[in-house]
Chain A
């Protein structure tokens, strides 16, 4: 089945239409921005069903808070902020449910000092996800946005609502904790 013709209206017009009760306009916004949102959500999801759930929650929150969008910045920026904060809430909630994934089965990757090729990228991502799952939610959020999404400190501050100093401190702690986790896994492997 062919995709429906994309709505040509700019984001601001679509937002106004949604606020006037046009749900079709919101579907157009979802279609336009779903990849950006799902990509952020995927950084913090452990399984496809979690990605689906988190992605939907982000758009439901955006729908509920749409009246707060002032239009003074691109809609995608505002939506990214909603996505990041929803992901942070999800991380904090998950933290209470206690989960840390074992590193044992991916630890051998650490012993290899060669520059990983493309086929190793997936393994690197898996290993990082497992190590990241052991960090505090705020540290994980900051290091993911800085080092995986390659955002600047200022952007991360804007997305999270934290000060730039706070972002830097959390990034430093996150890196220190990650190195320790990886060294422990490496040591356990030898």
Chain B
């Protein structure tokens, strides 16, 4: 059975070797198309892929994000928290005054 499978496989390979792939159509003008691809990949050709530029600009984007983060942390310290605390304290004082004064 195994021998039969081996023979069959060998026969199939032998037959397939009798029909090597025909590449004549692909060969026509192939050099020109390869040359065009090489020119297209060259910097300054105006055909550089967007991804390549995105990678080149990545450090700049990173620096901008870090700068904005640091600036935000430095310039918005307690304004929001402080205002909130003051309002809460004012409400607390008003409640206390009402309680002590017997109001409400």
A159 close to chain B: CB less than 8 A: no
Q: Number of B interface residues, CB 8 Å?
A: 29
Residue from B11, B25, B32 in contact with A115 in the complex, judged by beta carbons closer than 8 Å:
B11
Q: Which chain B residue shows the least CB distance to A128?
A: B16
Question: A30 to B29, alpha carbons, bound, how many Å?
Answer: 11
Q: Is the CB of A23 within 8 A of B19?
A: no
Q: Is the CB of A128 within 8 A of B13?
A: yes
Q: State the main secondary structure of chain A at its contact with B.
A: helix
Question: A38 to B23, alpha carbons, bound, how many Å?
Answer: 6
B21 close to chain A: CB less than 8 A: yes
Q: Number of A interface residues, CB 8 Å?
A: 39
Q: Is the CB of A122 within 8 A of B19?
A: yes
Q: Is the CB of A56 within 8 A of B33?
A: yes
Residues of A within 8 A of B (CB): 23, 26-27, 30-31, 34-35, 38-39, 42-43, 48, 51-52, 55-56, 59-60, 63, 110, 113, 115-116, 118, 120-122, 124-125, 127-128, 147-148, 150, 175, 178-179, 182-183
Q: List 5 A-B contacts (CB under 8 A).
A: A34-B27, A38-B27, A121-B15, A147-B13, A150-B17
